[in-house]
Amino acid sequence: GSRPRVNAILQPNFKFSDTGIGGLDEQFSTIFRRAFASRIFPPADIEKLNIQHVKGLLLYGPPGTGKTLIARQIGKMLNSVEPKIVNGPEMLSKYVGSSEENIRNLFKDAEAEYKEKGDESQLHIIIFDELDAVFKQRGSRGDGTGVGDNVVNQLLAKMDGVEQLNNILVIGMTNRRDLIDSALLRPGRFEVQLEIPLPDEHGRKQIFTIHTAKMAKEKMLGPDVSLEELASKTKNFTGAEIQGLIRSAVSFALDSHVKTDSDKIKVDNTDIKVTRVHFMRALDE
């Protein structure tokens, strides 16, 4: 178009350390450099280089490792409207035809804005969880509907179709990358793929730190609790499981303040502290 194009704006106050994501600094910076770098250069430069922005990013790895957290933070880092979050099974509507409509609706706001402004200054992020639920159905018309195929085709049409939208980014997530049709991984589609792995010991310590920060600040974390020790004892835990462990340690701590005497329940809330014993009990569980 003849209208001037404006580049996406990087939020000046964004700091990775404020995101509440532990142990994924490297992945975050890889995503940024491979999927967004082109968006923060002046559009004229990108036009001269004759390349398209990345429109699809695939995050894969075990459940509960922070894929959704990362996807949401990407929206905060760039000038973006609130990301739309959908999941595969939800998109596979029982009613033939409406699955495609579900997909089209996802892109409506981005399309309208692109038509009006003709630039990509504001990014529209679509987070597509459980992508494999839709994409493994491709080609399998066993149920006689082919709904999965239609959804896939509609999504691809929106991502790399004739009407190019430069203001969208689709972030697909899956626990089963092996189930994703290779046609989806081509340039213009989910071309940047990144594994979000289980956290290592250092990452686990960061996750413990993040999720106990508030109780530590309120002096409710016992001085005998060593986050290093917890990190070393939680090999193969996901971030979600670490959060679950903390939650059960807290419930043991609370439990020691509850007394049942005869047929009454009493709570004594003086000096609640989550101590090493509570964490060890939670680990034993």
Binding site for ligand ATP (CB under 6 A): 21-24, 63-69, 129, 175, 199, 207, 210, 239-240, 243
**Angle at Cα 45 formed by Cα 42 and Cα 49, nearest 5°?**
145
Nearest CB to ligand ATP, comparing residues 65 and 150: 65
What dihedral angle (degrees, nearest 10) is formed by the CA atoms of 75, 78, 80, 83?
-10
Using Cβ positions, the residue closest to ligand ATP within the complex turns out to be: 239
Nearest CB to ligand ATP, comparing residues 165 and 184: 184
What is the closest distance, in whole angstroms, from the C-beta atom of residue 42 to ligand ATP in the complex? 33
Nearest CB to ligand ATP, comparing residues 148 and 172: 172
Strand partners, 260: 265
What is the closest distance, in whole angstroms, from the C-beta atom of residue 256 to ligand ATP in the complex? 25
Nearest CB to ligand ATP, comparing residues 33 and 202: 202
One-letter amino acid for residue 218 of the chain: E
What is the closest distance, in whole angstroms, from the C-beta atom of residue 272 to ligand ATP in the complex? 22
Q: Give the tokens for residue 91.
A: 């998109």
What is the closest distance, in whole angstroms, from the C-beta atom of residue 104 to ligand ATP in the complex? 25
- Which three-class secondary structure string do you get for 62-117? CCCCCHHHHHHHHHHHECECCCEEEEHHHHCCCCCCHHHHHHHHHHHHHHHHHHHH
What is the closest distance, in whole angstroms, from the C-beta atom of residue 18 to ligand ATP in the complex? 13
Nearest CB to ligand ATP, comparing residues 210 and 283: 210
Q: Give the tokens for residue 117.
A: 């402004």
